[in-house]
Amino acid sequence: MQISSFISALPKAELHLHIEGTFEPELMLYIADRNGIDLQFDSVDSLRAAYNFSNLQDFLDIYYQGMNVLLTEEDFYDLTLAYIERVGAQAVRHVEIFFDPQAHTARGIVFKTVIDGIWRALETAREKFDISSNLILCFLRHLDEADAIATLHEALPYRDRITAVGLDSSESGHPPSKFERVFALAREAGFYCVAHAGEEGPPDYVVEALDLLKVSRIDHGNRALEDHALTRRLAKEKIPMTVCPLSNHKLCVVKDLDDHPLPTMLEAGLMVTLNSDDPAFFGGYINENFQVMKDHFDLSNEVLGSIARNSFLASFMSGERRSLLLDELDAYMAGST
Ligand code: ADE
Ligand code: ZN
């Protein structure tokens, strides 16, 4: 995909990114080999050929299978650094990264191995690429409350490395209300909260995420548009929405990118950001997501710039870092008109 020069150099933050979803087939095969694991797929092409999904669950089945080859701290380091190198070349200045500890601890990989590997790569990101970051621990919603609470307790010794908790995995049948108490404990421990809601689930799940989990952002949120009162509320309260167009298309949340709700969201005054979700599986990183929306809806540079601005405003970065990056964006916009 040809990325416009404006998008290529536009300073931006990525706020909806599952680190396990950045596992490119080449690296997956390399790490599988390094760890002596038989992946069942023997080539990059056979892996990519399997990336044909009818819904979220179809994708999750492959996503969890792929991450089984991650065993050591070095594996998590290599995975995270590969993502940082990719987005360092896409003018990404700050990232808020989801990780799924339960998908690893359930396989006998200890929490420390996972977070030490990711953290070391994020230190490299700061030092070598001047990319700042925050980590968001996601609870897997298909598992029960007790498992989530145990995971929160495992995370507490790493409190200084984790900024927020989130909620991901199979949405249908697993409403935010199932995790009300875990999120209350997380807030008491000082974490910000976010949740996937309204990707496949109904608008009521978005309301529950706001009212019961007290989230600062909604991840996806597409189906909120079915409820006009909710849409007005999201706009009025300026709740950021982390929208992921290529993901929505690959997971059949929208049939065609022309049907994507981004223009409706913008018209409704929602605070939209654009993100890649699981870029290795969905055919593009953040700039490809900006570009497809520009191409399909003829978005102006001014609108694209305002979406980038939202990404800095909606992030959990420090006030000092936010001012610096907003200044950088202002200078970029002034220089490109
Ligand atoms: N885990 C990784 N990607 C996800 C998505 N798009 N929705 C829910 N859980 C996920
Ligand atoms: Zn996601």
Q: Which domain holds residue 206?
A: 10-318
- Structural domain includes residue 173: yes
- Structural domain includes residue 177: yes
Q: What is the CATH number of the domain that holds 312?
A: 3.20.20.140
pLDDT digits (tens, 9 = 90+) for 142-180: 999 999 999 999 999 999 999 999 999 999 999 999 999
**Structure confidence at residue 210 (pLDDT):** 98
Smallest-distance ligand from the CA of 277: 2
Characterise 130 by phi-psi region: left (phi > 0), alpha (psi -120 to 50), beta (else). left
- Structural domain tally of the chain? 1
Q: Whose Cα sits closest to atom 6 in ligand 1?
A: 277
List, by residue number, the catalytic residues. Answer: 199
pTM: 0.98
- Structural domain includes residue 80: yes
Gap from CA of 55 to ligand 2 centroid (Å): 13
Q: Is 151 in the pocket of ligand 1 (CB under 6 A)?
A: no
Which of 16, 56, 99, 167 should be mutated for ligand 1, with most atoms under 8 A from CB?
56
**Structure confidence at residue 217 (pLDDT):** 98
Nearest 5°: the CA angle 198, 201, 202 is: 80
Q: Is 276 in the pocket of ligand 1 (CB under 6 A)?
A: no
Residue 167 near residue 179, CB atoms below 8 Å? yes
Q: Is 56 in the pocket of ligand 1 (CB under 6 A)?
A: yes
Bridge partners (DSSP) of residue 167 are 139
Gap from CA of 332 to ligand 1 centroid (Å): 32
**Structure confidence at residue 337 (pLDDT):** 66
Q: Is 21 in the pocket of ligand 1 (CB under 6 A)?
A: yes
Residue 121 near residue 81, CB atoms below 8 Å? yes
Q: What is the CA radius of gyration of the chain?
A: 19
Which of 169, 241, 254, 275 should be mutated for ligand 1, with most atoms under 8 A from CB?
169
**Structure confidence at residue 40 (pLDDT):** 87
Cβ neighbours of 64 (radius 10 Å):
16
DSSP 219-275: EE-GGGGG-HHHHHHHHHTT-EEEE-HHHHHHTTSSSSGGG-SHHHHHHTT-EEEE-
- Structural domain includes residue 332: no
**Structure confidence at residue 113 (pLDDT):** 98
d(CA 77, CA 86): 14
* Residue 38 DSSP code: -
- Structural domain includes residue 334: no
pLDDT beneath 50, residues of the chain: none
Angle, nearest 10°, between helix axes 301-313 and 319-335? Answer: 170
Gap from CA of 30 to ligand 2 centroid (Å): 25
Smallest-distance ligand from the CA of 19: 1
Q: Which atom of ligand 1 is nearest to the CA of 169?
A: 9
Gap from CA of 77 to ligand 1 centroid (Å): 21
- Structural domain includes residue 1: no
- Structural domain includes residue 93: yes
Q: φ, ψ for residue 140 (rounded to 5)?
A: -80, 120
pLDDT digits (tens, 9 = 90+) for 188-198: 999 999 999 99
Q: Is 16 in the pocket of ligand 1 (CB under 6 A)?
A: no
Tell the burial category of 237 from Cβ atoms under 10 Å away from its Cβ (0-12, 13-18, 19+): exposed
Gap from CA of 96 to ligand 1 centroid (Å): 15
- Structural domain includes residue 74: yes
